[in-house]
Amino acid sequence: MANCLYIVKEGSVNCQIDGKIIRKLGVGEFFGEMSILFDSVRSLDVVANENCTLYDISLETLQTLLGVKYKDALMLNFVKTCFEQSNYFKKLSPESIENSFSSFKVLKIAKSQVVISAGTITSENLIIVLQGNLVDVSCF
C-alpha cells in the first residue's frame, strides 16, 4: 500500500509495467501519487536508469505540509501535469487550471459501466482517465 511519495533529486528512473516503459522521470519529477490518491497498491515498477537520489516523503509529512486536503493538492498537480502534456490544454495557464479545479469531479467507474451514453453531446464534458482504460464499444 502507498505510504509515501518519491521525488527524483538526482538521476532518472523508468516507470514500467511488465518491462514496458510507460514514462521516464528526471530531476524534480515525482511518482507514487496515484497510489496515494486511490489508497491502492503500487501499479508500476520504478527502475533507476543510473545511480539516483530520491526524496521519500511519508503520508504523515504530506499531511503536515499540505494539510488535511493533501489529496486535493496532489490531484491538482496531477491535473496540471496532464494538461501540460496535451497539445491543446497546455495553452491554459496554471492559474486557469487552479481556478477551475473546484468544479472537477472524481468519479470511480466500475468495469463495464457506461461512462458516456450514445447520443451524449461529448463537447460538454472533459474526461481525464486517471486510472484504467476506456473502451469504445460502438466499434464492436
Burial class of residue 11 (count of CB atoms within 10 Å of its CB; 0-12, 13-18, 19+):
middle
d(CA 126, CA 103): 11
Residue 70 lies in a domain: yes
Domain enclosing residue 74, as ranges: 4-103
Q: What CATH number should be reported for the domain holding residue 11?
A: 2.60.120.10
Q: Could you tell me the three cell numbers for 20? A: 514496458
User: Residue 16: beta bridge partners?
Assistant: 21, 45
**pLDDT tens for each residue of the chain, 140 residues long:** 788 999 999 999 999 999 999 889 999 999 988 888 888 888 889 999 999 999 999 999 999 999 998 988 888 888 888 888 888 888 888 888 888 888 888 788 888 888 877 777 766 677 777 777 777 766 54
Question: What domain count does the chain have?
Answer: 1
d(CA 27, CA 63): 23
d(CA 79, CA 92): 12
Q: What is the pTM of this model?
A: 0.70
